[in-house]
Amino acid sequence: MPRTTVVESPGCPPLRALTTDILGLVKVVEARAKPAGAAKIVETWGAPDASRGIVAASLADRAADPVLAVARKNGVVELLNPLNGNALAAVKTMAPATNDGGAEDDPLVALHLFTRQASDSMLGTFIACTDKGKASMRSITKENAASGLDAGPSTTWDVCSGGNVQFCSVDHGESYAMFGGKGIEVNLWDIASCSKTWSAKSPRANSLGIWTRPWFTAGTFLCKDDHRKIVACTNNHQVRLYDTALQRRPAISVDFRESPIKAVAADPNGHDVYIGTGTGDLASFDMRTGKLLGCYIGKCSGSIRSIVRHPELPLVASCGLDSYLRIWDTNTRQLLSAVFLKQHLTSVVIDSHFSVEEPEEAKYKQLESLVEAEAEVRNEKKKKMSKTIEEDEAEAEVRKEKKKKKSKTVEEEEEQVKVLNDHSDSDGETDFRKEKKKKKSRAIEGDEERDIDGEMSTPKRRKSGERSKCLKKKSKKQHIA
């Protein structure tokens, strides 16, 4: 049993990945939550059979009529519908061997399904390569899909005279194919003419004169628009950059730790690559300078056998012998989600056209609710506008009334002034002044009466005081006697 650890993951954005394993099963893993959710296995296609184990897989990632091709251990290439798992066609790519082992003497090791379609009647075209370097290109039409007969161009050629092929990679324009393996230098082939256009040259011997035998384990084309720059990884933990237009030896060669590199994938930016080792290390390199950008946090427990980069989202998926499908963030190099799939995994592909879409009825309901909400908002705005207009009119009326009251008070004051001027006396004094004079005279008379009363009270007080003094003297004399 592999060593597994429980790692908390924040979840990944909506994603759909298809994995293959050594028992011939295809498992579909999806993450549907927005903006991020846990990835879960939703479907399993096929029955477990070790003799029909899947060694390689390739997806024609088209928006319409996508096709998934899987190469099985018994030498059969099957075309499946990646949406529901239905079998579309099955083709035997090689004749059985002379002994009873069948295809076990020369098993399939590499497969690529072309994305472009030559015609609408064509179901798919693929390139397959065996361990001993027998490459073949087959085309299958929709009419002959049930019988498994070939249609269109069907060619075969030998990639090498000796050694064991371990990988095959096709450029973005699907015009050139790259092969490499144990005892086989990296070589480039023109698919249309099936001719070799370039082959790498072995590095020079070391200071002791020891020459190392080539052993390439993985390779990819670096740029989408330029097939001349290729990246190849070796079993001697080296990452090499070749420029086929300049020289045969590597332009850049970088060592990474001490374990063989088993998988590599290119980034859409055209200069970064992601590599996976036999001990579960995942890292990224900038091949313009050969600089290590960083290692991904959360080491895998087994050998990494497949890496794929999402063409749009900043995600990279990896799988291997620890039976885990892991999804990483390329910006932060953090683990987003990990799914345990029980069997040893051989490859993973990503459906880039997957999106979480709701049914049409729900969409129509949402549209209707949005229209109703907008209508309600408009009605409320109209009501508010009418209320504000009414309030403004009421305020204007109040202001008019206030102005009228002010004008009335001014007119009344002017009339009072006129009346006072008309009722003035012949001496030039108005009745108002006469009343003031009367009030003043009354006040003076009141003051005089108060003064008279004060004067009358003073002699009485004095007499009472004198009496009290006489009484005090008498009491003293009586006391002395």
Kindly tell me the sign of the dihedral angle through the C-alpha atoms of 336, 342, 344, 347.
Answer: negative
Over the Cα atoms of the chain, what is R_g? 51
**pLDDT for 198:** 96
- The lowest-confidence range among 88-97, 132-141, 194-203, 396-405 is 88-97
Report percent pLDDT > 90 for the chain: 53
Kindly tell me the sign of the dihedral angle through the C-alpha atoms of 457, 459, 463, 468.
Answer: positive
Question: How many Cα atoms occupy the beta-carbon half-sphere of 78 within 13 Å?
Answer: 21
| Mean per-residue pLDDT over the chain, rounded | 82
* Residues contacting residue 40 through CB under 8 Å, at least 6 positions apart: 29, 30, 31, 339
Q: What is the mean pLDDT of residues 41-59?
A: 95
pLDDT digits (tens, 9 = 90+) for 245-254: 999 999 999 9
Q: How confident is the model at residue 359 (pLDDT cuts 50, 70, 90)?
A: very low
Q: b/e for 378-403, b at 16 or more Cβ within 10 A?
A: eeeeeeeeeeeeeeeeeeeeeeeeee
Report percent pLDDT > 70 for the chain: 78
Mapped onto helix, strand or coil, the DSSP state of residue 413 is helix
- Kindly list the strands in the beta sheet with 164-170, ordered across the sheet, starting from the edge strand earlier in the chain: 164-170, 176-182, 184-190, 195-199
Q: In Å, what is the CA distance from 191 to each residue of 77, 128, 150, 376? A: 19, 12, 18, 63
- DSSP string covering 103-119, please? GGGS-EEEEEE-SS-S-
**pLDDT for 96:** 46
- DSSP string covering 50-87, please? GGG-EEEEEEE--SSS-EEEEEETTSEEEEE-TTT--E
pLDDT at residue 51 greater than cutoff 90:
yes
**pLDDT for 11:** 81
Q: What is the mean pLDDT of residues 442-456?
A: 54
pLDDT digits (tens, 9 = 90+) for 14-40: 999 999 999 999 999 999 887 778 899
**pLDDT for 97:** 45
**pLDDT for 391:** 83
pLDDT at residue 243 greater than cutoff 60:
yes
* Residues contacting residue 352 through CB under 8 Å, at least 6 positions apart: 61, 310, 311, 312
Given a contact cutoff of 8 angstroms between Cβ atoms, the answer to whether 8 and 2 are in contact is no
Q: How confident is the model at residue 60 (pLDDT cuts 50, 70, 90)?
A: very high
pLDDT at residue 168 greater than cutoff 50:
yes
- How far is 40 from 25, CA to CA, in rounded Å? 16
Q: In Å, what is the CA distance from 133 to each residue of 51, 214, 372, 446? A: 22, 15, 66, 143
Per the document, the length of the chain is: 481
- The lowest-confidence range among 167-181, 333-347, 437-451 is 437-451
- The lowest-confidence range among 35-49, 227-241, 267-281 is 35-49
Token output for 86 = 């239905």
Residue corresponding to tokens 């749009």: 312
**pLDDT for 74:** 92
- Kindly list the strands in the beta sheet with 252-255, ordered across the sheet, starting from the edge strand earlier in the chain: 216-221, 229-234, 238-243, 252-255
**Pick from 55, 95, 70: which is nearest to 306 by CA?**
55
Residue corresponding to tokens 């004008």: 407
Number of H-type helices and E-type strands within the chain: 2, 28
| Residue 87 vs residue 465, higher pLDDT | 87
pLDDT digits (tens, 9 = 90+) for 275-311: 999 999 999 999 999 999 999 987 778 899 999 999 9
Q: How confident is the model at residue 271 (pLDDT cuts 50, 70, 90)?
A: very high
pLDDT digits (tens, 9 = 90+) for 374-432: 788 888 888 888 778 888 888 888 888 888 888 878 777 777 767 666 655 444 545 55
* Residues contacting residue 476 through CB under 8 Å, at least 6 positions apart: none
Q: What is the mean pLDDT of residues 313-326?
A: 95
